[in-house]
Structure 1
């Protein structure tokens, strides 16, 4: 669209269903590359991506021609389909419903990228649910505890 100029940086967080530790270090780089390809095929710019065994962070320069919810539907749907087709997990792989999406200014890019790249060190000190709650609180996002990423009960 002529005369449309944007600067949209979104940090996404989403978890494996029931927060099961299914993202294996033997193949998680392949998964990240697959998600980068999905994202870039839809004309977004991947700024950072990293995961722990039970969740994934990605930081994207968002192209406004696609909604956040459509991007997440495609990333989560296509990546879980790929994981199941490749038989990389013992059980059927699924992402948990929902996601977090947090906007950042250009001045915050370096800090968010470092934060995402340092997930392994970060999670030696902070549990995922504590991290996620803090993000929601820091961004002043109203939330219902019943819908925070849950473990199998």
Structure 2
């Protein structure tokens, strides 16, 4: 795209379907590498990635040529297939529909990257539900609480 210059930094957050704790800690690095590969193949840059058993945070540098929703769809579809092929859980792994995306300036990248890197420490004080609602409020995003999370009964369990 000649004469198109873009500098977008986006923090993407989404959860496991029904917020079940299905991302095994022992497989986090492998999952992060796989997702990084998906993003890199789409010509985007991963700045920081980290997950908890029930959700994931990804900070990316966006370039023109792809819609954010298309990128997130690629991440979810590709990583779902990967996790299911690996057999990390008994049953079928799925991400929840939808996602949160929050933009930051270049001067905020170190702070956001550190926040993502320190998820385990952060979640010792705050649940994912509280964290996500805080993001929506901080960014002044209108929402209806009954549609934020799909909280159906668990159908799957992690493999031991």
**Shorter-chain TM-score category?**
over 0.9
Verify: 1:50 aligned to 2:65, yes or no: no
- How far the C-alpha of 1:144 sits from its partner, in A, is 1.0
The residue correspondences of 1:3-42 to structure 2 (distance < 5 A) are: 3-42=3-42
Runs of 4+ residues over 6 Å off in structure 1: none
1:148 Cα deviation from its structure 2 partner: 1.1
* Residues in 1 aligned to 2:145 and 2:40: alpha-carbon distance in whole angstroms: 33
TM-score, structure 2 as length reference:
0.93
Query: In the TM superposition, what whole-angstrom CA distance separates every residue of 1:71-126 from its partner, at most 9, and x where no partner exists?
Result: 01100011001111111111200000000000001110000000000000000001
Structure 2: distance between partners of 1:54 and 1:150: 13
Which 5+ residue runs of structure 2 have no aligned equivalent? 154-160
Paired positions, count: 153
Name the stretch that deviates more: 86-95 or 51-60.
Answer: 86-95
Three-state SS of the structure 2 residue aligned to 1:27 is: helix
> Counterparts of 1:126 and 1:54 in 2: how far apart (Å)?
13
The residue that corresponds to 2:144 in the other structure is: 144
State how far apart, in whole Å, the 2-side matches of 1:151 and 1:32 are: 25
Structure 1 CA distance, aligned partners of 2:115 and 2:27? 22
Q: TM-score, normalised to structure 1's length?
A: 0.97
Match of 2:111 in 1: 111
- CA distance in 1 between partners of 2:24 and 2:85 (Å): 16
Q: What is the alpha-carbon distance in structure 2 between the residues aligned to residue 49 and residue 86 of structure 1? A: 20
Distance in 2, Cα, partners of 1:105 & 1:8: 8
Structure 1 partner of 2:91: 91
